[in-house]
Amino acid sequence: MNHLAILGAGPGGYVAAIRAAQLGARVTVIENQALGGVCLNWGCIPSKALLSVVEFGDKAKKAKDFGIQLSGPATYDPAVMVARKNKVVSTLVKGIATLFKTWNIEHLEGTGELLDARTIRVTKPDGAEIRVEADGLILATGSSWPNLPLFPIDGTQIITSKQALELSRIPASLLIVGGGVEGCEFASLYSGLGTQVTLVELVPRLLPLEDEEISQMMERELKKRGVDIRTGVTVDQIVRQPEVVTAHLRDGLSLNVEQVLVSVGRGFNSRGIGLEKAGVQVGPRGEIVVNDRMETNVPGVYAIGDVVGKAMLAHVASAQGKVAVENFMGHPRTIDYDVIPTGIFTLPEIGRVGLTEQQARDRCLAVGKDPQQSVRVGRFRYGGLGKAQATGDIQGLLKVIVDAGSDRILGVHILGAHATDLIHEAALAMHLGGTVSRVAEMIHAHPTLAEGLMEAMEDVHGHAIHLARKPSS
């Protein structure tokens, strides 16, 4: 029986462990923190548990419009919110532990370090050391919060997302440094709780990796929530005092806030795990170098998840874990990064798959095609949907980008209620090579939000039923 050792039990490591056990391997998993890694314990799940509270509160604020009389305004209890969040996390962590038991997966608590390409030294919490020898290794050590001299993290006044999820109290004011996915999600969360939020981003717009139209819409939505957004600027200096933090921005503005949330990327956990002893190659950013089978340069040693520096997403780590295991078990398989649905859990949500409109046009230019003729775009707004009107979720847009020659879907972007769920219809269509016309022809149930995707697909060719006739050119 092949013995596989996995260093790390995040969404990549624990999924790889279960798949390996399913395929008949003996599996040992080494983890020095909680099962589920950052995603489950200090990231994806806890942040969504807290955001769901704010979303619920947003609906309560509109209760009167729906004919519901409440005795007073909605207020938030941080202790109850955090307790609920912790219960959600604990339930899921216990679920992983149960899965490990049913699949006879050995879980070793401790810090692992490679001694060679087949041996890991595990230092247990009590200081004892054991050695794990295996036929193959998977490195799934993830990423961590960066240590930036300008932002000395103290966990109280200058915090990371880990502390921002504990919410011992709701701060009156918060500066978020970084307008990417994490920064915008926390801006939604804290502004919903009543905190005066200032969001600073170095580049000219929020969510710089998203479609520009969607990015602009999200900026407007955050401003509606009272978020003060400052793009194209950075923080030059942070001054801590007992009750306040003063942030001096490059544009000359000085802000006094209770806390500063640093949300400017993550670093690879590739140091201190013995890569040099095993001869594993590391890239210029500190990422572990792998091929499309998730193999490192050392036979029998694989790496997955954030530490390989590809798409740093939990579901990508899980997919990489399955690919690595199947190759280890003798079932050749490669990974395809072309169709990766992504969810951003702002309020409202964003779902995205494939190319942005600008990326599609740039690709046309690169091969000598006219982007105006080669790229088509279809749009449909939530306000035109009966389901959205009925539920009050009328803010949103569904946008489809298509190759005019082949009618293939190049990208889909959704901002609005349940966008992170809706995006998967588009992702499946792209994965199966479907055309925009075929998706538009599929009968969609009424009344649903998914009808908006059908309408956006129809709009590519000017056939959307619930859009007013466009003026002739």
For 173-195, the pLDDT digits (tens) are: 999 999 999 999 999 999 999 99
d(CA 98, CA 101): 5
Q: Is residue 467 included in any domain, yes or no?
A: no
Tell me if 213 is assigned to a ligand binding site: no
Count other C-beta atoms under 10 Å from residue 227's C-beta: 22
Q: Which residues pair with 144 in a beta bridge?
A: 267
Tell me the average pLDDT across 256-270: 95
Indicate the angle between helix axes 357-366 and 212-224, nearest 10 degrees: 160
Q: Which helix (H) or strand (E) holds 338?
A: none
Q: Is the peptide bond prior to 447 cis by the omega test (within 30 degrees of 0)?
A: yes
CATH of the domain at 212: 3.50.50.60
Task: Indicate if 195 and 111 belong to the same structural domain.
Answer: no
Q: Which helix (H) or strand (E) holds 115?
A: strand 111-116
Tell me if 113 is assigned to a ligand binding site: no
Tell me if 265 is assigned to a ligand binding site: yes
- Number of domains within the chain: 3
Residue 107 has pLDDT above 80, yes or no: yes
Predicted confidence at residue 323, as pLDDT, reads 98
Catalytic status, residue 444 = no
Count other C-beta atoms under 10 Å from residue 296's C-beta: 24
Q: How far is CA 259 from CA 235, 249, 274, 419, in A?
A: 14, 15, 37, 31
Q: Is residue 311 included in any domain, yes or no?
A: yes
Task: Indicate if 280 and 224 belong to the same structural domain.
Answer: no
What is the DSSP pairing of strand 259-262 with strand 158-159?
Answer: parallel
Task: Indicate if 347 and 445 belong to the same structural domain.
Answer: yes
Burial 343-382, CB ≥16 within 10 A → b, else e: bbbbbbbbbbbbbbbebbbebbeeeebeeeebbbbbbbbb
Task: Indicate if 57 and 119 belong to the same structural domain.
Answer: yes
> Which of 222, 245, 262 is a domain's end point?
262
Q: Is residue 60 included in any domain, yes or no?
A: yes
Tell me the average pLDDT across 276-305: 97
Tell me if 179 is assigned to a ligand binding site: yes
Predicted confidence at residue 146, as pLDDT, reads 83
d(CA 180, CA 371): 28
Q: Is residue 151 included in any domain, yes or no?
A: no
Positive or negative, the Cα torsion across 249, 167, 194, 265?
Answer: positive
Count other C-beta atoms under 10 Å from residue 197's C-beta: 27
Tell me if 178 is assigned to a ligand binding site: yes
Q: Which residues pair with 261 in a beta bridge?
A: 159, 176
Predicted confidence at residue 424, as pLDDT, reads 98
Tell me if 183 is assigned to a ligand binding site: yes
Task: Indicate if 431 and 286 belong to the same structural domain.
Answer: no
> Which of 239, 262, 285 is a domain's end point?
262
Q: Which of 3, 446, 461, 466 is catalytic?
A: 446
DSSP letters along 408-450, please?
Answer: BEEEEEEESTTHHHHHHHHHHHHHTT-BHHHHHHSPPPSS-TT
Which residues, 6+ apart, have CB-to-CB distance to 164 below 8 Å?
A: 186, 190, 261
Which amino acid, 9? A
Tell me if 8 is assigned to a ligand binding site: no
Q: Is residue 407 included in any domain, yes or no?
A: yes
For 196-232, the pLDDT digits (tens) are: 999 999 999 999 999 999 999 999 999 999 999 999 9
Task: Indicate if 129 and 272 belong to the same structural domain.
Answer: yes
Residue 327, SS3? Answer: helix
Task: Indicate if 256 and 277 belong to the same structural domain.
Answer: no
Which amino acid, 398? L
Positive or negative, the Cα torsion across 401, 403, 406, 408?
Answer: negative
For 55, the domain range is: 3-145+268-328
Q: Is residue 336 included in any domain, yes or no?
A: no
Average pLDDT along the chain: 96
Contact at 8 Å (CB) between 128 and 122? no
Task: Indicate if 69 and 129 belong to the same structural domain.
Answer: yes
CATH of the domain at 404: 3.30.390.30
Tell me if 143 is assigned to a ligand binding site: yes
Predicted confidence at residue 204, as pLDDT, reads 96
Task: Indicate if 7 and 137 belong to the same structural domain.
Answer: yes
Task: Indicate if 242 and 103 belong to the same structural domain.
Answer: no
DSSP letters along 53-109, please?
Answer: HHHHHHHHHTGGGGT---SS-----HHHHHHHHHHHHHHHHHHHHHHHHHTT-EEEE
> Which of 288, 303, 328 is a domain's end point?
328
Task: Indicate if 432 and 347 belong to the same structural domain.
Answer: yes
Residue 1 has pLDDT above 80, yes or no: no
Predicted confidence at residue 196, as pLDDT, reads 98
- What are the tokens at 27? 């599996």
Q: Is residue 466 included in any domain, yes or no?
A: no
Indicate the angle between helix axes 78-102 and 44-61, nearest 10 degrees: 140
Residue 60 has pLDDT above 70, yes or no: yes
Residue 473 has pLDDT above 70, yes or no: no
Tell me if 221 is assigned to a ligand binding site: no
Task: Indicate if 112 and 162 belong to the same structural domain.
Answer: no
For 295-354, the pLDDT digits (tens) are: 999 999 999 999 999 999 999 999 999 999 999 999 999 998 999 999 999 999 999 999
Q: Is residue 152 included in any domain, yes or no?
A: no
Residue 472 has pLDDT above 80, yes or no: no
Tell me if 142 is assigned to a ligand binding site: yes
